[in-house]
């Protein structure tokens, strides 16, 4: 298995993701890898870590998610790996629940999201976003 972290999706990924059929609520699993130091294009806030820059984004995006009827289910630091193998662990995991794909798309394209995106970009070295939908319990 090949794993490639990215900060922004490529146009074909966007088209495929948002072209999927609407099937109700879903949880996005976010595997996050941070820059050691924040990387704002203007050089501001160079004293911040990537994690701290991303936290600015995270707090603002939490409000957006809640505003559309979703919620942040979990957010935490990665502290170890029990099973499997990866070249480098992610730094954090966040689980965000969205009511619909359309709601997620509206949020992702909103001016409010655009206004906070610079914190995400400054903090992230890369990430994986994995869409999941509820299934039968185990």
Domain membership flag for residue 4: no
Confirm if 68 and 107 have CB atoms less than 8 A apart. Answer: yes
Distances (CA, A) of 134 to 25, 37, 42, 46, 138: 8, 36, 42, 40, 12
Domain membership flag for residue 5: no
pLDDT at 135 over 90: no
Report the share of the chain in percent with pLDDT over 70: 99
Q: In which domain, by residue range, is 34 found?
A: 23-132
Please report the pLDDT score of residue 138 as a whole number.
60
Q: Give me the CATH number covering residue 48.
A: 3.30.70.100
pLDDT digits (tens, 9 = 90+) for 80-116: 999 999 989 999 999 999 999 999 999 999 999 999 9
Domain membership flag for residue 53: yes
Reading the block at residue 118, the tokens are 């610079």
Please report the pLDDT score of residue 124 as a whole number.
97
**pTM of this prediction?**
0.91
* Structural domain total, the chain: 1
Domain membership flag for residue 1: no
Domain membership flag for residue 64: yes
Average pLDDT over residues 8-33: 93
């Amino acid at each position: 298995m090949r794993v490639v972290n990215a900060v922004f999706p490529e146009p074909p990924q966007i088209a495929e993701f948002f072209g999927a059929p609407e099937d109700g609520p879903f949880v996005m699993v976010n595997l996050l890898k941070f820059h050691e130091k924040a990387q704002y294009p203007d050089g501001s806030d160079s004293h911040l870590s990537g994690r701290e820059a991303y936290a600015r984004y995270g707090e603002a995006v939490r409000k957006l998610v809640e505003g559309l009827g979703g919620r942040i289910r979990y957010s935490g630091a990665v502290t170890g790996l029990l099973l499997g193998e990866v070249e480098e662990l992610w730094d954090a995991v966040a689980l965000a629940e969205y009511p619909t794909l359309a709601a997620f798309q509206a949020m992702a394209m909103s001016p409010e999201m655009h206004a906070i995106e610079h914190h995400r970009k400054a903090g992230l070295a890369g990430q994986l976003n994995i869409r999941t939908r509820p299934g039968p319990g185990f």
